[in-house]
Amino acid sequence: MVAALAVYKKMDLSTPYHLSNFINGTLIAPVKGNYIDNVDPSTGKVYGEIPDSDKEDIELAVKAARSAFPAWSKSSNEYRFKILNRIADLIDEHSEVLALAETIDNGKPFWLSKKVDIPRASSNFRFFATGIMHFASESHQMEDRSVNYTLRQPIGIVGCISPWNLPLYLFTWKIAPALAAGNTVIAKPSEVTPVTAYLLSKICQQAGLPAGVLNIVHGTGPSAGEAIVTHQEVRAISFTGSTRAGERIASLAAPKFKKLSLELGGKNPNIIFADCDWKKMMDTTMQSSFSNQGEICLCGSRILVEESIYEKFKTEFVARTKKLIPGDPLLEDSKQGAIVSEVHYRKILDCITTAKKEGGKIICGGEPVIPEGRCAEGFFIQPTIIEGLGPDCRTNMEEIFGPVVTLQSFKTEEEALLLANTCSYGLAATIWTSDISRAHRLSSRVESGIIWVNCWLLRDLRTPFGGFKNSGVGKEGGWEALKFFTESKNVCIDL
């Protein structure tokens, strides 16, 4: 057993704890005193309660953000750098506690929280803290007539709404650039995985972040989330989540002319040619298929394999997948953890049933798992592989967001391209080939915002992140994020 399990056993979970909202630098209860149960998905048991906030709580947060904006927006880049970098340092100092909280809240393996989620959260703050020191504007001279220069100014109060799959990772991915650019923020984490956002509140207090600059309000999307989106003083919305929720946010925010960044779903093709580096491809495809229980928008859920190697691939892929036995996420040898919630667990099982009705053949997995011990009532599903379905069925068109992948074969490069693009999503794609010319050709023609060639999830924070089609609107990352969270103003001076 890892130390995490020993620590977990010492925790007093007999009485559910209460989280608090973080408004104006203070941890406070929701105005109406209503709470939502928080469930440990690995046990199926309630272990905490979170604020069920509504528009009254958002109004308090807006008031605090409004008051804090003048001083924060006029503060120097160096000052903001010091505060945000201090937050990054404190995340690193408390990484074990944060990782354990993430695992209990989300169900992902503890080793994954330690290796990926928490380090990336601190990297987000450190990257944008440094980036704002180098963020430059442009100037344009009109011969001897005039000079134009561009000012980049903070927007004001912005709303950041993040999902449950990578809770602190994606929460900080939005908050850090918004704060670095000089905005004040009202942020809502997912009500399914709120604990690390709550712990971040305490870290911000310790780091000396001025009161009201960041306000973290817990609650559901229809209540707290929509109150953020519709508030007239919230000038921009950055959202990551489902396409359905994104459509709702756009319908509410667009008539009010708010800036929108929507990072939505993915149904990503993993295109495998016969001339690939076999071992590297197999190792990486296992990761891109089932990492984080498949609950990553960038997972390669549609695996497209060249016909000449299809049977070889299928045999080895199935054999490897059968070894991924879901279990207690606090154990070192657990490669697969729990599905994040009972609602999502049942949705995934329904999707597998739909695949069967469409004529799909389950060649691996497809069933719930009941681990022994403390996780006997948790939400676990076998990693699942499905073949025999065409590109136009629901299973290959709709995002499942779980440990479920489909296999399809192709004969030619053109057929592979057609299969890859026959989907309403366009977030990411992976191409496996040793032919660099083919890699360039396909990269320019696959309809996805991110193309990985002979790799997966290799992320440079300086690069733009975002998708095409139903995968969203706008780009995050690097200068794109800092541009989104600022307004450009042109100044023309007649010489």
Catalytic positions, written as ranges: 263, 297
Nearest of 285, 268, 272 to residue 324 by alpha carbon: 285
Burial class (CB in 10 A: 0-12, 13-18, 19+), 411: exposed
d(CA 263, CA 301): 18
Buried-state track 187-221, b at ≥16 Cβ within 10 A, e below 16: bbbbbbbbbbbbbbbebbeebebbbbbbbbbbbbb
Strand partners, 431: 271, 453
Strand partners, 239: 161, 262
Burial class (CB in 10 A: 0-12, 13-18, 19+), 139: exposed
Q: Which two tokens stand for residue 488?
A: 């450009």
d(CA 7, CA 5): 5
Instruction: Report angle CA 90, 92, 97 to the nearest 5 degrees.
Output: 90
- Residue 397's contacts (CB-CB under 8 Å, 6 or more residues apart) are 267, 391, 423, 424
- Residue 33's contacts (CB-CB under 8 Å, 6 or more residues apart) are none
Nearest of 259, 201, 317 to residue 476 by alpha carbon: 259
Kindly give the residue spans of alpha helices, DSSP state H, lying in 181-258.
195-207, 226-230, 243-253
